[in-house]
Chains A and B, each alone.
Chain A
């Protein structure tokens, strides 16, 4: 293992220390329990948006804390979901009185830890709603698996919902918007190389020099297929066509019902893309793939979208939801409406995303 670290067990702590020193105007860092929060939190009467997950996906989530995006982010150990006390303390810290939205990626650990935290926060009198992101089309089945994983759409949901909260939407409206972003977003990723979790010291899986894995998750979860490596155009086509052409996906997720005061099962269906849709195209690096290659991917993605009648109205290209040093990329397409476009364009000022201010 070759990494720019000191001790494997200090990686997350030292990263957070660096973050606090690098962006004092944007964020503060709370230790034990660990969370990153907006420097001006709590913002009175604004819905607070919180996310979190294992570390190793930087800049997500800590790098998206700031004006117009997240109010707080809870980093777990590398590739390990954070613990409920982190989300509970973060929720208490950033609650401005208008309630808190938890944006949770669909991993069993994240769901359970966030559920426990939401229950504890509600027991302390804070309004909390939770929305699950599950957009990874590489997972076809939700009956015999945990279901689609939460990947690229998470970044887009955090930006759009953060802007909505900044604009004064109430909690229910921010949650409804987040659910809408989730069901309109689809992603798929691929890996050329594995990555190494510092504490494990060894790669999480193995790929031969001439192999790639299509449909990989952001922790190296296996995808649809392991195969001989192909050209950028062929890879882009495999990812994009899965995203565009896969049939509607139905799943049951748990959400908190404020009227019944209990967790309820909600069935959601994502509509497939169709000609005429306006989309945001997000080409993401898994960490080890350079910008030069992402633009080659984008070039082909643009051509495919045009051929399919999808109009790319916004794009995001770069390393935003990474998997340590893994080489590879993911593509996310989000079907946008006027409201989402307006919120996407709204000012944002975070360590990882910044425009309009």
Chain B
């Protein structure tokens, strides 16, 4: 079954729910090594996406994601706003004009999102950021699709890789953003950005499972 723009809209609505449910959890993770606002900011950003969705309901997946990216940029603030905003805008560029998506399209969007985050944040894997969840997910999904896995299987492997990547941030030394000032004290805490990225990837897999 192809992935439609209705699925993309549903993904955004569910993500808003998931981030709302995890608002306090993400904020708590952030208060350990950051400035205690990640959950609050992501919730505000995705609620803002919900407000914009009605105006793009009949548009292509690219427009929907670009509009969502702009909604994040203009409402999240902090580092999360430009990073997630850029991620969604770049993903949107990768899906410009498309109304039906294949698993390869989803991979291309995720890959574009990853590259956008690395460009905007001047960051790379291993620095205790959201990249540490997204990068392994992209790799796992690519390997899965290359080896003939279907959409569900590919997204489940991506989710497992993102979860592992998220947990792998625990022993990492933070080198970007406010967490970097903790130095050694950042070790032992899970990165909130990697956690929200994992939650979004997991939401995709959950939807694929229900559809399968």
Min distance, Cβ B42 to any Cβ of chain A, angstroms: 11
CB-based contact B77/A146 at 8 Å: no
B38-79 contact mask (Cβ, 8 Å, vs A): 1 or 0 = 001100100000000000000000000000000001111111
Does B82 make an interface contact (CB < 8 A)? Answer: yes
SS class, residues of chain B in contact with chain A: helix
Chain A residues lying within 8 Å of B183, measured Cβ to Cβ, are 144-145
B150-184 contact mask (Cβ, 8 Å, vs A): 1 or 0 = 00000000000000000000000101111011110
Chain B residues lying within 8 Å of A83, measured Cβ to Cβ, are 73-77, 81
| Cα separation A331 to B54 with both chains bound (whole Å) | 51
Our count of residue pairs bridging A and B at CB distance below 8 angstroms stands at 104
Closest chain B residue, CB of each to CB of A254:
B122
CB-based contact A76/B77 at 8 Å: yes
Q: What is the interface size of chain B, counting residues whose CB is below 8 A from a CB of the partner?
A: 31
Chain A residues lying within 8 Å of B81, measured Cβ to Cβ, are 81, 83, 109, 112-113
Closest chain B residue, CB of each to CB of A85:
B74
CB-based contact B178/A107 at 8 Å: yes
CB-based contact A200/B82 at 8 Å: no
Closest chain B residue, CB of each to CB of A79:
B35
Chain A residues lying within 8 Å of B80, measured Cβ to Cβ, are 109
Closest chain B residue, CB of each to CB of A86:
B74
Does B120 make an interface contact (CB < 8 A)? Answer: yes
CB-based contact B78/A109 at 8 Å: yes
Chain B residues lying within 8 Å of A179, measured Cβ to Cβ, are none
CB-based contact A109/B77 at 8 Å: yes
Central interface residue in B74, B173, B185, by most chain A CB within 10 Å: B74
CB-based contact A139/B181 at 8 Å: yes
Central interface residue in A83, A107, A219, A221, by most chain B CB within 10 Å: A83
Chain B residues lying within 8 Å of A144, measured Cβ to Cβ, are 173, 175, 180, 183
Within 8 A of A (CB), among B170-207: 173, 175-178, 180-183, 185
Q: What is the interface size of chain A, counting residues whose CB is below 8 A from a CB of the partner?
A: 35
Min distance, Cβ A251 to any Cβ of chain B, angstroms: 13
Chain B residues lying within 8 Å of A116, measured Cβ to Cβ, are 73, 82
| Cα separation A223 to B74 with both chains bound (whole Å) | 31
CB-based contact A222/B182 at 8 Å: yes
Does B144 make an interface contact (CB < 8 A)? Answer: no
CB-based contact A77/B74 at 8 Å: no
Chain A residues lying within 8 Å of B82, measured Cβ to Cβ, are 84, 109, 112-113, 115-116
CB-based contact A199/B31 at 8 Å: no
Min distance, Cβ B93 to any Cβ of chain A, angstroms: 16
Min distance, Cβ A76 to any Cβ of chain B, angstroms: 5
Closest chain A residue, CB of each to CB of B83:
A112
Closest chain A residue, CB of each to CB of B185:
A222
CB-based contact A84/B31 at 8 Å: no
A204-227 contact mask (Cβ, 8 Å, vs B): 1 or 0 = 110000000000010111110000
| Candidates A79, A113, A205; contact of B37 at CB < 8 Å | A79
Q: A83-B76, A85-B73, A109-B81 are in contact. Are A217 and B37 (CB under 8 A)?
A: no
Chain A residues lying within 8 Å of B76, measured Cβ to Cβ, are 83
Min distance, Cβ A107 to any Cβ of chain B, angstroms: 7
- Supply 6 A–B pairs (Cβ within 8 Å), ascending by A: A79-B37, A83-B75, A83-B77, A84-B82, A108-B178, A217-B178
With contacts A83-B81, A146-B177, A200-B37 known, what are 14 further pairs, Cβ within 8 A?
A83-B74, A83-B76, A84-B73, A109-B81, A112-B120, A113-B77, A115-B82, A144-B175, A145-B175, A146-B180, A149-B181, A199-B40, A200-B27, A219-B178
In the A-B complex, the 6 residue pairs with the smallest Cβ-Cβ separation, listed nearest first, are A112-B82, A145-B180, A109-B79, A109-B78, A80-B77, A108-B177
A interface list, Cβ under 8 A from B: 33, 54, 76-77, 79-85, 107-109, 112-113, 115-116, 139, 144-146, 149, 197, 199-200, 202, 204-205, 217, 219-223
